Amino acid sequence: MAAKASRVAKADRRSRQLELVPVARPVAEPPAPTPVPAPGPAEDAAAGATESRRPKRRATAEEMATRQREISISEFFTKNRHLLGFDNPSKALLTTIKEAVDNSLDACEEAGILPEITIGVRDLGFEASGELTKGEGRFVVSVEDNGPGIVKAQAPKIFGKLLYGSKFHRLKQSRGQQGIGISAAAMYGQLTTGQPIRVVSRTGKGKPTHSFDIQIDTRKNSPVVTRDETLDDWHQDHGTRVDLEIVANWQSGQKFVNRYVEHTSLANPHCTVHYLRPKQARLSFPRATSELPKEALEIRPHPHGVELGALMTMAGDSKSHDVKGFLQTSFSRVSAQVAGEILKHAGLRERMRPREIAGDRDLAEKLHRGIQGTKIMAPPVNCLSPIGDALMRQGLVSFLSVIETEGPDGEDGQLDLDQAAKTKGKKGKAKPAPAPEPAEVEAEEGVEKIKGHDYFIATVTRPPRVYRGNPFQVEVGLAHGGSWPADRPVELFRFANRVPLLFQRGACGIHEAVVKTDWRNYLLSQPKGSLPVGPMALLVHIASVWVPFTSESKEAVAPYPEIIREIQLAAQECGRKLAAHIRKRQHADYQAQRRSIFELYIHEVAQAIGKIVGRSPDPIRREFMRVAEKVTEADLASQDAKLEEAAEKTARRPRRSEEDE
Amino acid sequence: MARMDAVSKRTVGKIEKLAESVIRAVKGGGNPFVEIPVRSLANVRFNEKKRVVELGNQRQKRYFFNVSMAKKFMQTFLVSDACKELIESGKTTSIRDLYYITKHSIGDTKQNTFEEQDESDPIIEDIEVALDALREELHLFASRKGTMVGPITIRDSGDTIDLRRMGSGGWGVPSIVEENVIQFGRHEAKYVLLVEKDAVWSRFNEDKFWKRQNAIIIHGGGQPPRGVRRMVQRLHRELKLPVYVLVDNDPWGFYIYSVVKQGSINLAFESMRMAVPDARFIGLSSFDKVTYKLPSNVAIKMDDGDVARARQMLAYPWFQAKQWQAEIQEMVKSGVKYELEALSRRGISFITEEYLPTKLKEKDWIA
Ligand SMILES: Nc1ncnc2c1ncn2[C@@H]1O[C@H](COP(=O)(O)OP(=O)(O)OP(=O)(O)O)[C@@H](O)[C@H]1O
Ligand SMILES: [Mg+2]
């Protein structure tokens, strides 16, 4: 429906791209669609019964026609705000921030600027009365970036018109896709507080700084600029700042925002985030790297991902003279030779006009079958920009540094900075006593010491794969140990195109894949059908030119078998690294424990024996220590053999499942 | 005291030898150990000929480099060291004292060398058997709880004591009653009566039973301590006095009798010094309730533990005599037990005036 409205407004190239929607977004349907049952005799009978009862006619077609008119997308939105994540005031708080931050990150990345973003939340009630607003109230959300800025002429449409954007008509990995995000937030603010969105933007040093108040004419879906000024001075050389006054619930919504901020910095280690909250100290997540992510390239759709209707529309929009040219120019990986093969399989003439295909369902179906029956190279994968092993590690480290400072532990086993603040207030009393450090254990590869705690970090980046013609890539990172609680389910952090997914965990393919992985192989406990239990955080990122979300609100990834499988393979690989680490640790602990027992007793024994025989205890103690080393080693060998055996068992199963790769 | 010096020297030598063997072991890169005869029922056997319980020859090695044995190994040497010091300084102390002497925290931990006396007592017994040294040779004694009275004069550490003039309290039997400490003097005693309980002993003493019967009466406050058992054995061997044992009619009472007669499982290694194989069981028999018309309301119901214990005793090699099997079986069958005090139902001095004289006269005992 969103696509239709847009198509009317856009130029032909765009409308061609628009028809890609079913191709690139086969999300709404589940991987295995349930067949619609054919109408049975029972229904026929029911229909007959209705007929015989002859209900009284109510409205005529003419009467109905008087009421039929265009619905503006803005009007639609006002009634269906839940579709875009504005269900209630606490979720709306997060969604507003998220839309602005995602845009800032997208813009910086596209412009090649290292992002520095400041997120602010002001509680207007608190500012007026000195007391934090309980429940719903008025808040001002601001997000400021150092991005490329927005040219003056574009600003009104960007912020005051839904379905206006630069990212929809292309197949490229980015956070935003639809051209709805920020204007929807602006509309939410306008609906709930009557206040326009306030924008400040500058495109470069020496360029003017523009400031606007923009309202949306919801009936016409068009912007109304209520204030237009040029500022004399602004502290950013280039960048954009938006201020939105909204009705929100900070009390119950802040935990989502906190998590979003933490996790955004985790998945975007090249970004510095400052976070200003009512009545709390400013929180900063400094960037872990000054290397920008690899630029994601735009690609054409892959023929294997296209569906019949889309194929017809694409053919209709094609400027090519013949169907062979259409195939070559509209799709990736279709050379003249491949196009020829497709047409041969389809039994179609090469010279056929694309328009004929667009107008004839049978011909289109032939072509579609021809495409499916032809071997075509997988789509180019250079369009993807994964976080990468090294940066994922750095991201985890800097993320954990902040968490260690703030303290872990939130309700329901999830991280929560505010819980942390409370803990800190109690002078860290709630923190468990740190486990005694094993003496002189050599630094192990993959182990990072963060604020005095040892974390084992492992990361795996899978090679790019394809689902329905869409390239995607899975990355998994895990951090184990430190001060995480050992008796709770692991923290699962889900990301799609570097955007944290915070809701609908149970419906998400990422969660499904992690639960389906047998973590007991990797020395974690795992209740049946649940996340594993242990002191661990697991990060799963899926990068794709089009992430198959289960719904418009972009909260959960559809469980495509190809995607589940990749996540599982990555999780297993990480798991094996983890198991090796846990074994090494157990070994070291055991050794240290034994040695310390013996060392304690050796002192006593040497003292007593020395006294009995009337000699100095020191040489006796030295002899004991010498034997201690030897005996401990020998005894550990058998212990190791046992662990090795367990490891073999661990490795066997996953290896089998990888064989059929 | 010259002999004692020789014994002491020998004991100290044994401790030193043990320590040297450990030093040798570690120097050679080995895992040092102490070899200790096993003190459990599995390693105890009944010597039919000598009629005493003896320790078998199973031994266990207590290694230092073994997580579960290291602490006991250490404790063994702490106690050994303390004993050596006691012997050399010519002092004797209680095993409770020894616990305090050897208890301290280890390094800068919260762990102690011994957490409770229950930990140090068995270590002492381990050393006794490992060194083949008696407790008194280690200059240790357990708490004294035995009392004695009777027509006999003794010398205790040089003091002459007339056990006919001990008033109501009696003479406390020391832990160490070896010849070098205690010597027997003039006596008119015809036999020794060992009663289980303090309270019953008091009845016999007050009733001047010892005077009437020319008996030495002695109690051990439950299971008699080593001093009492050694004293009874010396009276039996040196003065040729028969020994009668009077205990409650319950499994525990029977066990006390058996310990006096042939030694305990725990201290089987000392049986030869303490057992009195000829000791006679004079009461309370499982059949006395009929003979002496004890009303059923003075009986106590046996609990599950009692029954299990009684069944266990049926299998002991030293309870295989027909009479004993009958005693135990009758107890199990009736499901009740009797304390000695139950006899008071027939009169406060029934036990001293009727019961015991009748039993002795009719030779109603088990040998
Ligand atoms: N901070 C910014 N700096 C530069 N350009 C921006 C900024 N915010 C938005 N834009 C531009 O405005 C367009 C519209 O943004 P909007 O959030 O409405 O849609 P989108 O990001 O394309 O898709 P989505 O609806 O999925 O968020 C973007 O495509 C981008 O070109
Ligand atoms: Mg956006």
Q: Same domain, yes or no, for B168 and B129?
A: no
Q: Is the pTM of this model over 0.80?
A: no
User: Does pLDDT of A407 surpass 70?
Assistant: no
Q: What is the pLDDT of residue A443?
A: 60
CA B91 to chain centre: 23
Confidence band (pLDDT; 50, 70, 90) for A1?
A: very low
**A603·B23 Cβ contact <8 A:** no
B33 CB neighbours in chain A (<8 A) are none
Report how far apart the first and last C-alpha atoms of chain B are (Å, whole number): 38
DSSP character at residue A57: P
Identify the architecture of domain A75-285 in CATH.
2-Layer Sandwich (3.30)
**A620·B107 Cβ contact <8 A:** no
Whether residue B367 is contained in a domain is answered as no
Q: Same domain, yes or no, for B181 and B62?
A: no
Burial A584-597 (b: 16+ CB within 10 A, else e): bbeebebbbebbeb
pLDDT (tens digit per residue) in B293-347: 998 889 999 998 899 999 988 988 888 889 999 999 999 999 999 999 999 999 9
Q: What is the CATH number of the domain that holds B348?
A: 3.40.1360.10
Least confident of A32-41, A170-179, A515-524, B151-160: A32-41
CA distance B35 to B130: 6
Residue A247 CA to ligand 1 center (angstroms) comes to 22
**A627·B31 Cβ contact <8 A:** yes
Least confident of A43-52, A175-184, A375-384: A43-52
Please name which ligand lies nearest the alpha carbon of A183: 1
A624 CB neighbours in chain B (<8 A) are 26, 64
User: Does pLDDT of A329 surpass 70?
Assistant: yes
Whether residue B70 is contained in a domain is answered as yes
Q: Which amino acid is at B35?
A: E
Higher pLDDT, B55 or B207: B207
The alpha carbon dihedral of B133, B136, B139, B143 has a sign of positive
pLDDT (tens digit per residue) in A188-207: 999 999 999 999 999 999 99
Q: Same domain, yes or no, for B12 and B131?
A: yes
- In 3D space, the residue among A247, A295, A550, A593 whose CA is nearest the CA of residue A441 turns out to be A593
Residue B81 sits at the chain A interface (C-beta within 8 Å): yes
Whether residue B207 is contained in a domain is answered as yes
Last residue of a domain, one of B83, B116, B141: B141
Please report, for chain B, how many H helices and E strands are present, in that order: 14, 17
Least confident of B15-19, B172-176, B267-271: B267-271
Identify the architecture of domain A303-372 in CATH.
Orthogonal Bundle (1.10)
- In 3D space, the residue among A162, A196, A157 whose CA is nearest the CA of residue A180 turns out to be A162
Where along chain A do its domains lie? 75-285, 303-372, 389-580, 586-646
Q: What is the pLDDT of residue A57?
A: 80
- Is the CB of residue A630 less than 8 Å from the CB of residue B32? no
Q: Same domain, yes or no, for B128 and B153?
A: no
Q: Same domain, yes or no, for B247 and B117?
A: no
Please name which ligand lies nearest the alpha carbon of A105: 1
Q: What is the pLDDT of residue A646?
A: 56
Q: What is the pLDDT of residue A590?
A: 72
Q: Same domain, yes or no, for B53 and B97?
A: yes
pLDDT (tens digit per residue) in A253-302: 998 999 899 899 889 999 999 999 999 989 899 998 898 988 888 888 89
Q: Could you give the residue numbers annotated as active site of B?
A: 100
pLDDT (tens digit per residue) in A476-495: 999 998 888 888 899 899 99
Whether residue A147 has its Cβ less than 6 Å from ligand 1: yes
The H or E element containing residue A235 is: none
For domain A389-580, the CATH class is alpha beta
**A605·B84 Cβ contact <8 A:** no
Whether residue B289 is contained in a domain is answered as yes
Q: Same domain, yes or no, for B189 and B257?
A: yes
For an interface test with A, give the residue of B77, B79, B86, B138 to mutate (most A CBs within 10 A).
Answer: B77
Q: Same domain, yes or no, for B317 and B280?
A: yes
User: B38: distance to nearest CA of chain A, Å?
Assistant: 23
User: B128: distance to nearest CA of chain A, Å?
Assistant: 17
Give, to the nearest 10 degrees, the angle between helix B226-238 and helix B251-262: 50
Q: Same domain, yes or no, for B115 and B207?
A: no
Q: What is the pLDDT of residue A645?
A: 65
Higher pLDDT, A70 or B98: B98
User: Does pLDDT of A425 surpass 80?
Assistant: no
A631 CB neighbours in chain B (<8 A) are 31, 65
Last residue of a domain, one of B124, B141, B158: B141
Across chain B, mean pLDDT equals: 90
Q: Same domain, yes or no, for B161 and B206?
A: yes
Q: Same domain, yes or no, for B156 and B294?
A: yes
Q: Same domain, yes or no, for B56 and B200?
A: no
Q: State how many domains chain B has.
A: 2
Whether residue B318 is contained in a domain is answered as yes
Question: Which tokens is A172 given?
Answer: 């490229």
How do beta strands A453-461 and B140-141 pair?
Answer: unpaired
Higher pLDDT, A113 or A77: A113
**A624·B30 Cβ contact <8 A:** no
Q: What is the pLDDT of residue B147?
A: 95
Q: Residue B104: which domain range?
A: 6-141
User: Does pLDDT of B12 surpass 90?
Assistant: yes
- Residues whose CB is less than 8 angstroms from the CB of residue B200 and which lie 6 or more positions away in sequence, other chains included: B219, B246, B340, B341, B351
Count of pairs with CB atoms under 8 A, one residue in A, one in B: 74
User: B77: distance to nearest CA of chain A, Å?
Assistant: 6
Last residue of a domain, one of B85, B106, B141: B141
